[in-house]
Structure formats: C-alpha cells, structure tokens
C-alpha cells in the first residue's frame, strides 16, 4: 500500500537526498532529477556545486542567461560570488583527487553489491559515459537518486546489474520514492520508508535481496 503525499516521485526523492547534505559540502549533481536537490536544502545548509565542465560555485540563473555559462548537462546556470572557472583537467583533478564530498547521480540499475549502471541502454544512441565513471570512484559519498521501477514496472534494484556498468561497488546510498537503502559489505539494508509507504510495497517492487533495519521492521 502506498499513500499519496502530494509530492511527485521526483520531488520525494530530491527532498530526501537533500537531507544527506552537510553545510559546506562540495557537491556534484548529475543531470535531470539530481539538479532538483538544492531546492530542498535546509536554510542552514549551504553547499558548493562543482560541475565537471569546469566550474565550482554554480548557482541559479540571475537575470539574463549567459550562453557561455552552463552546467555539465548544457543547461543555463549562474555562478555565486567566489565561484571559479577552470579547464577540464583541473576539474577532473578535483574529482579524481577526492575533493568532491558528495555526488548525486541518476540510475538505470543498482544491484546488491552497490554496482551502478546509468549510462547506456543497448540499442540506443548515447554520447558516452561522460564524467560519471570518475565521479563514482572519486567522490567521498555516492548517492543514487532514481525512481524505484522502470517505465514497464520492473524493479531497478536488482540482484545483479544487466546493463553496462558505470562503476563496481561504488554506491553508498540509494534513494527512491519508496525507500532509502544503504549499501554495506553485507548487502543492501533498508534504512527508511518514504512517507505513506509500507514494507510489503517495497518488497513487492524490489528484485534485490535486502535486510531491514530493525527500527522499521
């Protein structure tokens, strides 16, 4: 059983991911759903957004759009006071050097071992993996923000990923509109149910095996 909360699935996910942020975190957001996360940050939490195309300190567009200032997804962006521009080499030195505290990415599949597939669907044209493979290995915390099931209703939390892998054993937290999972050496642990969601619903819609935090069992 799932009770309607008034938020869209993407809003439920983004608002829960926002609770994982800490004041001063350097954060890289993937395209799509992850870009909604700053809208739900607590007033006392300020994060510094890093973009792999060569920016730190990205912010909302203020006033006229600058065609030369875009995020990694090519969307118009602004920059906060103190922000900086640099080349891709320096940008990836920040990522690969472990200077990004949190990265939030979408996912096509995540499995019990924390493997992530999020860049290619066989048979479809894709531009490439981009910076995802660097982010999932370089960031201190990797959060996957995705809807729990695919459009055909199949689970996106699997026993083993079937699509080409972005990174092996890299995921720390999975946030869906149904639940929050943490990836541990013992496998997935269901840490939290989203508002209005019961455990039976999560079990029904999850292919992967998982343990349940006793606090919600």
Going residue by residue through the chain (217 aa), what tens digit of pLDDT does each one get?
Answer: 454 568 999 999 999 999 999 999 999 999 899 999 999 999 999 999 999 999 999 998 888 999 989 988 888 999 999 999 999 999 999 999 999 999 999 999 999 999 999 999 878 877 778 899 999 999 999 999 999 999 999 999 999 999 999 999 999 999 999 999 999 999 999 999 999 999 999 999 999 999 999 998 6
Question: Which pLDDT score, from 0 to 100, does residue 72 have?
Answer: 86
Identify the active-site residue in 11, 20, 43, 52.
52
Residue 186 annotated among the catalytic residues of the structure: no
Q: Contact at 8 Å (CB) between 31 and 106?
A: yes
Question: Which pLDDT score, from 0 to 100, does residue 130 have?
Answer: 82
Residue 206, sorted as left (phi over 0), alpha (psi -120 to 50) or beta, turns out to be: beta
Locate the domains of the chain by residue range: 9-43+99-212
Question: Which pLDDT score, from 0 to 100, does residue 1 have?
Answer: 46
SS3 82: strand
H or E element at residue 48? strand 48-51
- Residue 206 makes CB contacts below 8 A (sequence gap 6+) with 148, 155, 157
Residues 173, 181: Cα–Cα separation, whole Å: 6
Q: Does domain 9-43+99-212 have CATH number 3.60.15.10?
A: no
First to last CA, the chain: 16
């Amino acid at each position: 059983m799932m009770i309607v909360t008034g938020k869209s699935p993407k809003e439920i996910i983004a608002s829960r991911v926002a609770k994982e942020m800490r004041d001063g975190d350097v954060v890289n957001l993937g395209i799509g759903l992850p870009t909604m996360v700053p809208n739900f940050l607590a007033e006392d939490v300020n994060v510094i957004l890093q973009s792999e195309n060569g920016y730190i300190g990205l912010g909302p567009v203020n006033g006229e759009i600058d065609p030369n200032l875009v995020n990694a997804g090519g969307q118009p962006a602004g920059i906060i006071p103190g922000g900086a521009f640099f080349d891709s080499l320096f940008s990836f030195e920040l990522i690969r050097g472990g200077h990004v505290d949190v990265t939030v990415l979408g996912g096509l599949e995540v499995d019990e071992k924390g493997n992530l597939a999020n860049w290619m669907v066989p048979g479809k044209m894709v531009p490439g993996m981009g910076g995802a493979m660097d982010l999932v290995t370089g960031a201190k915390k990797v959060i996957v923000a995705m809807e729990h099931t695919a459009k055909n209703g199949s689970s996106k939390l699997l026993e083993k990923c079937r699509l080409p892998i972005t990174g092996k054993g890299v995921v720390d937290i999975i946030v869906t509109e149904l639940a929050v999972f943490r990836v541990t050496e013992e496998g997935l642990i269901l840490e939290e149910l989203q508002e209005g969601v019961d455990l039976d619903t999560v079990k029904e819609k999850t292919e992967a095996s998982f343990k349940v935090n006793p606090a919600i069992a």
